[in-house]
Structure 1
Amino acid sequence: MTHIDSSPRFTYLITHILISIFNITPKYIIQTSYGSPIPNSKEYTGIIGDVQSGRAVMGATPVFFLDSRVHVVEYIAPNTKSYLNFYFKSPPLSYVSNIFVKPFNEYVWYSCFILIGLTLATMFTISKWEWTDPYFRRQIKRMPDATKPAISDVAILQLGVISQQGSDTELKSSSGRIAMIFALIAFMFLYTAYAANIVAILQSTSDSIKELKDLLASGMELGVEKAPYIVNLFKNVSSPIGREIIEKRLKPKGDKFLMPLSEGTDKMRSQFFAFFTEPSSINKLMSDYFDEAEKCNVRYVEYTKVMEPWFITQKNGCYKELLKVGLLRLRELGFYMAERKRIFHENPTCFTRLSRFFSAGLIDTYPGFLFFGVGCLLGLLIFFVEVFVERRKKAYRKKKQQSNVYFNQGNVFFGTKIAK
């Protein structure tokens, strides 16, 4: 269980070595907090209070630098570097961008639009010519329900060609059929390339989240490990982006964003979720429970620059220099490095980037459903407009017929004189 409270464990071991060097019999005082100011008093509670009052000679738990503590206790030697980061799995590409425009770059899209415009103009010109040529007009008029094609009919034919589907509009001339064949072949290659790329993109992940501002803009759910010093450092951040994350993303949730290490790691593994904790704790769980593909997919964003915690002793205490020299000597002799390798867990090694198959979800297909929904709403809107316009036309024609009453007076039809 060395991944739980790695930094206090490390500090305890270094303190134990220091005690053995000085041949001291220790007496440990157990506290439940680092310490906070007592209201209307200059004294502190917790570990800070014990060192301040002289009940403890030094703190065997690492303490971070705070302006309010500098005048209370003496910081004598650095402990070990400590980092606090947001950990998350690289999100699928569909979570951060519209994957339906990714298969082609902008120049290919421009070329496709130009090709669509050229083929549409060519087919419409040929269809208009077929209805003006006497030979083709006679052939077309023999067909049942033959109607002169409009630009909308040719556009639907063009959409059928693009999506490799059919249409009831058909060109009869040799030139029209040649244009149709070449359009089908050209769009067949484009359709194949697009389909192949979209399948690969659906299985791809994004590396777009590299900074706190990217994490804030991603919409990813956030959580914080429920540990006193982690919560304290998280809430006391001074960077503008950090304050914005707290105010916009976490404060509305109350304390629901605080969770145990195991719960946060499980959510990070299975959801679009970022978990704030120290590296050693989460590295141990990832090494034990994540498979190879998941290990390679984990990313982190540094939350804030945290100064390494220090050992503390009583202000102006008689043992200050002795403890300071002893701790720095242990650091120089490599005891810090040896104990750190025993206690702290490094990032899990990613040996091979194995590919995994992910089923397409609603987020992946959201642009398609959105396009379909907008099309349905637009169709219903146009339908109601057509019904309204048609009813208005019928009402106008009926009113006009009723007003054209025959008056047999001087052979006059409502203002129109009939010649005799």
Structure 2
Amino acid sequence: MIKMLAIFVLIMMSTLVTAKDAAAIDFVIKFIGNENKPSDLVYGGLCWGKHAELNLVKAAKDKGVRASGSLNTRVAYHEQDIVFLADLDCNGSHEFLYNASSKNLFRFPYRWLVLLNSTNEAKLMYLWRIPLLITSDLVLARRYGDLFELVELHKPAPSGSMITTPRGFFNGSLIDMRPQKELYRRRRNLMGHHLTMANIIQDSNTTKYYLPRDDRLQLHHDAVAKVCWVFAKVAFELLNATPRYIFSYRFGYKVNGQWSGMVRDIGDNKADLGTNCVLFKERLEIITYTDLVAPMRMRFVFRQPPLAYVANIFALPFSTGVWMAVAIASIASTVTLYITSLWEIRIEKNPTQLDGSIGDALLLTMSAVTQQGCFIEPRRTPGRIMEFIFFTALMALYAAYSANIVVLLQAPSNSITSLAQLAASKVTLAANDVDYNRFVFNDDIDPLHVSVHKTIIPDNGKPRFHDIVDGVERIRKGLFAFHSIVEPVYRRIEETFQENEKCDLTEVDYINSLDAFTPVKKDSPYLELLRVSYKHVREVGIQAALNKRYQVPKPRCESKAVAFSSVGLLDLRPVLIMMMYGVALSLAILLAEIIVFKIKEYNCNFH
């Protein structure tokens, strides 16, 4: 009798356990399905028995959900799909939670479902020790028979208290009580927790005073840092966070194998985010990038050299076809004048008329082409008509040529569009005397960058670093390229350049980088909140308003009216070279004439 009673109790207990497992499995599958997104179930430390685990895997498979009992089966490219399952009623769950915590698996975008029987409240202390920070998506399901009550757990800060938020309940069907499914919308209240921003000071220590005041004074100095700070404060207000700030004097570069400046402050948790910085691959060891706030482009800024510096402007006014037409007309004029001169000398001879030689005809033609006078000329009507037509045609041509030369003498060349062309030009290269340029030009990428580096920082000689005032003034004078963040350069240009001097401004990139983005520590619990907040502030137009208020874009060429411009010897280089060739040729002809004269004189004396 006792034996039969024991068997009956075992059968009843087995039935109760099976019913319990079936309800739990049904709840887990419906919980995952309620998210309506691809999911991979990872469970560990369950004490449900092999049969119950197989039923869980089979039920998940029927719903298109892959299931695994190992933490090592995760795929990094599908982290957002993973749902972890733990049961605090099982002793093995403690080790499972500990291993997950050591691997930082309670962060975004992993999802967690933790089961707990309502009669086992003491085991909640395991969850209170876990770093469930602001973006952790963990749901605690407390079981009361077949009823599951769902609660979300998170802390607004590592040292903050645990916050519980009702999620819903399950009693055969799942009731979701979340006002929004997006985690950001439910967690964007940091309850006054402090967020610290590292602000870069490169130009002046006055930034320490003016940046916290947001008074838009001294915008010549560190305008990018000031825009980023105001933008961050707006984002902090969206998150109900208290803004704090620190100052760094360097963006962040490796010095003797150690990070320095802002990147180090972020890595050491002294700051949660920083001023926009350029995307360098090695910085990804410490930080990740969120969003563009203020354009921060490092470029060589210079005025295009005059056209006369890079081309022979005296050959540019006419196309090749026009020059060929002038040559053909000159030949025709020479031949015609030669024929008419042969006819004229048969009728009469005069000291001022053509003597019937091809040389005199060519001399008269060249005089017409160069708009010069000639003491010999035709004496009869046919020759004079030919001379008149040729001089008249060339006079109109000469007027057009002269007008084009005047314009071309003051025209920019637009010949420098790349770093290679800039390095090969006669333009002087220099850089702004700030910290980042010392590191940028030490990063030798290829022979071209090495040559630019050696030009600005020679091995033997004084480095070519100038302050912003001196550098912009040298840009205005021309043939000078200044490497800097372009915003302070353009602000100074707007104040000092004349309108016509802005028309030939050009940028050339040295580091070949994208725009700068806001750095945040890679494993920061606030990364996703800041990323979404920044995008929201940008989409509503605040970013555009701040940039217009704090920054100066590239100056526009409002008027292309030609102003007075002096002409130097370099502008007349082709003409001077031609004159030198002419002098050399005349001396050669003189020497040849002397030799011929001496030979004739010798022959006469000999005979």
* TM-score bucket of the superposed structures, by smaller chain: 0.7 to 0.9
SS of equivalent to 2:267: helix
Shift in CA distance, 379/61, structure 1 to aligned 2, threshold 3 Å = same
Report the CA distance shift for 1:284/1:167 in structure 2 as closer, same or farther (over 3 A): same
Q: Show CA shifts across 1:77-106 (max 9, x none).
A: 224343233333344332332222233222
Judging changes above 3 Å, is the alpha-carbon distance between structure 1 residues 123 and 69 closer, same or farther for their aligned structure 2 residues? same
What is the CA–CA distance in structure 2 between the aligned matches of 1:249 and 1:153, rounded to whole Å? Answer: 56
Structure 1 residues 99-178: aligned runs within 5 Å: 99-131=313-345, 133=346, 135-136=347-348, 139-140=349-350, 148-178=355-385
Deviation at 1:116, TM superposition (A): 0.3
Matched with 1:74 is: 287
Residues 317 and 404 in structure 2, CA contact (< 8 A), matched pair in contact too: yes
Alignment of 1:153-302 (within 5 A): 153-216=360-423, 218-230=425-437, 232-233=439-440, 236=443, 243=449, 246=452, 250=456, 256-302=463-509
Deviation at 1:317, TM superposition (A): 4.5
Distance 1:327 1:184 in 2: 73
Shift of residue 276 of structure 1?
A: 2.7
Change (3 A) 1:326 1:235: same
Deviation of the 1:323 alpha carbon: 4.7
Q: 1:367 to 1:68 in 2, by over 3 A?
A: same
State the identity as a percent: 26
1:118 deviation in Å?
0.4
Contact 2:266 2:274 in 1 (8 A): no
1:45 aligned residue: 260
- How many angstroms does 1:264 deviate by? 1.6
**What SS class does the counterpart of residue 341 from structure 2 fall into?**
helix
**Which residue pairs with 1:416 in the alignment?**
none
241, 244, 263: which is aligned to 1:26?
A: 244
3-state SS of 1:78 partner: coil
2:518 is paired with a residue whose SS is strand
Q: What is aligned with 2:591?
A: 384
TM superposition shift of 1:258:
2.5
Shift in alpha-carbon separation, 1:352–1:308, aligned structure 2, 3 A: closer
1:309 corresponds to which residue? 516
CA distance, structure 1, for counterparts of residue 549 and residue 385 of structure 2: 75
Structure 2 vs 1, CA of residues 322 and 157 (structure 1 numbering), >3 Å: closer, same or farther? closer
The answer to whether the 8 A contact 1:62-1:79 is kept is yes
Of the two, which has the highest radius of gyration? 2
SS of equivalent to 1:378: helix
- Aligned equivalents of 1:176 and 1:25: distance in 2? 93
Shift of the alpha carbon at 1:238?
A: 5.2
Q: Is the 8 A contact 2:431 2:456 kept in 1?
A: no
State the Cα deviation string for residues 177-223 of structure 1 (Å, max 9, x = none).
33223322232332233233333433434444444455455533333
Match of 1:384, SS state, is helix
Assess, with a 3 A threshold, how the Cα gap between structure 1 residues 213 and 46 changes in structure 2: closer, same or farther.
closer
**Which letter does structure 2 place at the counterpart of 1:26?**
R
| Partner secondary structure for residue 274 of structure 2 | coil
> After the TM superposition, which parts of structure 1 deviate over 6 Å for at least 4 consecutive aligned residues?
none
Please report how far the alpha carbon of residue 229 of structure 1 lies from its aligned counterpart in structure 2 after TM superposition.
Answer: 2.5
Q: Distance in 2 between matches of 1:366 and 1:377?
A: 16
- Cα displacement (A) at 1:237: 7.6
Q: 1:82 to 1:99 in 2, by over 3 A?
A: same
Distance of aligned partners of 1:386 and 1:201 in 2 relative to their CA distance in 1, 3 Å threshold: same
* TM superposition shift of 1:370: 1.6
8 Å CA contact 2:272, 2:524 repeated in 1: no
CA distance in 2: counterparts of 1:187 and 1:337, whole angstroms: 58
Partner deviation per Cα, 1:273-329 (whole Å, 9 max, x = no partner):
333332321221122222332234434345554223343344535554555555455
CA distance in 2 between counterparts of 1:35 and 1:48 reads 5
Q: Which runs of 5 or more structure 1 residues have no equivalent in the other structure?
A: 402-420
Once residues 59 and 174 of structure 1 are traced to their aligned partners in structure 2, the CA distance between those partners, rounded to angstroms, is 91
Q: CA separation of 1:188/1:45 partners in 2, compared to 1, >3 Å: closer, same or farther?
A: closer
Does the residue aligned with 2:244 lie in a helix, a strand or coil?
Answer: coil
Equivalent of residue 279 in structure 2, options 57, 65, 84? 65
Q: In structure 2, what is the Cα distance between the partners aligned to 1:147 and 1:284?
A: 67
Q: Distance in 2 between matches of 1:31 and 1:97?
A: 48
Cα distance per residue 1:222-280 (max 9 Å; x no partner): 3322223245446648588x637626865669654332221121111122333333232
CA contact (8 A) 1:237 1:243 kept: yes
Contact 1:119 1:183 in 2 (8 A): yes
Q: Distance in 1 between matches of 2:306 and 2:338?
A: 42
CA distance in 2, matches of 1:281, 1:247: 22
Which segment drifts farther, 308-317 or 153-162?
Answer: 308-317
CA distance, structure 1, for counterparts of residue 452 and residue 414 of structure 2: 23
Q: Could you tell me which residue of structure 1 aligns to residue 45 of structure 2?
A: none
What is the distance in 2 between the residues matched to 1:315 and 1:193?
66
Q: Which structure is higher in strand share? A: 2
Whole-Å separation in 2 of the counterparts to 1:394 and 1:16: 100
Over 3 Å counting, the alpha-carbon distance change for 1:167 and 1:243 in structure 2 is same
Matched residue, 2:146: none
Q: Which has the higher contact order (CA 8 A, sep 6+)?
A: 1
Quote the residue 1:8 is aligned against.
225
Please tell me the residue identity of whatever aligns with 1:108: V
| CA 1:149–1:256: 2 relative to 1, 3 Å | farther
Q: What is residue 369 of structure 1 aligned with on the other side?
A: 576
- Equivalent pairs counted in the alignment come to 387
Q: Give ranges in structure 2 of 5+ residues lacking alignment.
A: 1-217
Change (3 A) 1:230 1:78: farther
Find 2:301's aligned residue among 62, 87, 95.
87
CA–CA separation in structure 2 for the residues paired with 1:381 and 1:244 = 47
Kindly indicate whether the alpha-carbon contact (under 8 Å) linking 1:93 and 1:99 is maintained by their aligned counterparts in 2.
yes
Could you tell me whether the CA contact under 8 Å between 2:224 and 2:276 is conserved in 1?
yes
The amino acid that maps onto 1:44 is W
Distance in 1 between residues matched to 2:336 and 2:314, nearest whole Å: 28
How far does the alpha carbon of each residue in 1:30-68 deviate from its partner, in whole angstroms, 9 at most, with x for none? 4433344353x5x323333333334x1334333333222
Which residue type is aligned with residue 260 of structure 2?
A: T
1:132-181 Cα shifts (integer Å, max 9, x gaps): x2x42xx44xx59x995533232222222223332233333433333223
